[in-house]
Amino acid sequence: MDKLIITAAICGAEVTKEQNPAVPYTIEEIVREAKSAYDAGASIIHLHVRWDDGTPTQDTKRFQEAVDAIRKVCPDAIIQPSTGGAVGMTDLERLASTDIVPTPEFATLDCGTCNFGGDEIFVNTDNTVFNFAKIMKEKGIKPELEVFDKGMIDIALKADRKGLLVHPLHFDFVMGVQISATLRDLVFMAGSIPQGSTWTATGVGRSAWNIAAATIAMGGHVRIGFEDNLYLEKGVLAKSNGEMVEKVVKLAKLLGREIATPDEAREILSMKK
C-alpha cells in the first residue's frame, strides 16, 4: 500500500469566519493555515483565495500573491489551485487560477454539475469539462478529477476517450454532497475508476472523519480542511487546518499507513516537479 498523501483544503469559497473564526481570508491568514497543515504532514495545499473581506475570487494576481507567499514557508509543497472557484463564476474566471507563474503542476477539474443545496447549482456542462481538460493538458497541468457522484466519473472517462487526459488518472471523491458519505458508496466509487488510477476522498461536514478512516484503510488518500469541515469532533471547532491534519496522521498511524512527503506524493501521482 502506498504512503498516505494528505491534501489540506484550507479555506474554500463558501465557509466563513462566522462559522469558524479560524477560516482564512487574507494572504497572511492563508499562509498561516497552509503552513500549519504542511508542518502537520500535508503534502498538497488545495487553494482557493479570497479578498480580505472574505469574498471568493479567481483573480490571477491574488492567486500569484498567495502562492508566492506559501512557497516561502512551504517550499516543496504541491500547491493545487482550484478551478472550481465559486457558484456563479464564468469558465474564464475559474481558469484564471492556472495563469500563475510558474504554471501549476496540479489543479482541480470538476467533472459535472452539482446540487450544493437549496437553489445553489454548480454548473459544469460536458463541454466545460472537456475544455478545462484540454487547456490543462496543453499547459502540462495534471488534473485532479473532482467527482461528486458516479455519473461524474463517467463524464471524466468521456474526456479520457477524447484523448484529453493523461494516464494514470487521479480522482477526488467528494462524499456527502450529492452522493451519500457511506462506506458502501465509497467502495462503489473506488471500484468505478480505471485500473492504475489513484484516488483521494473527502467527507463533507459530519462525515469527514468516517470517510478519512475508511479511505486510509482502503489504500486511498485523504483530503481534509476548512473547505469541507469545520469541526475536529462533534461540537468542537477546529482551531486550524493543521489540527485536522494531525488527526488524520494519528488515524494513519493507528491503521499502519506512513505519511508521504511532497516528493513522495509526486512520485505516487506520477507528477514531475
Output phi, psi for 163, to 5 deg: 80, 20
Q: What confidence tier does 154 reach under pLDDT thresholds 50, 70, 90?
A: very high
Q: What is the DSSP string of 225-237?
A: STTT--EEETTEE
Q: Kindly report the CA angle at 13 between 11 and 18, in degrees rounded to 5?
A: 70
Eight-class DSSP state of 134: H
Note the pLDDT tens digit of each residue in 209-266: 999 999 999 999 999 999 999 999 999 999 999 999 999 999 999 999 999 999 999 9
One-letter amino acid of 142: K
Note the pLDDT tens digit of each residue in 45-84: 999 999 999 999 999 999 999 999 999 999 999 999 999 9
Please say if the pLDDT value at position 164 is more than 70. Answer: yes
Q: What confidence tier does 273 reach under pLDDT thresholds 50, 70, 90?
A: low
Percentage of residues of the chain with pLDDT beyond 70: 99
pLDDT at 9: 98
Q: Are 114 and 178 in contact (CB under 8 A)?
A: yes
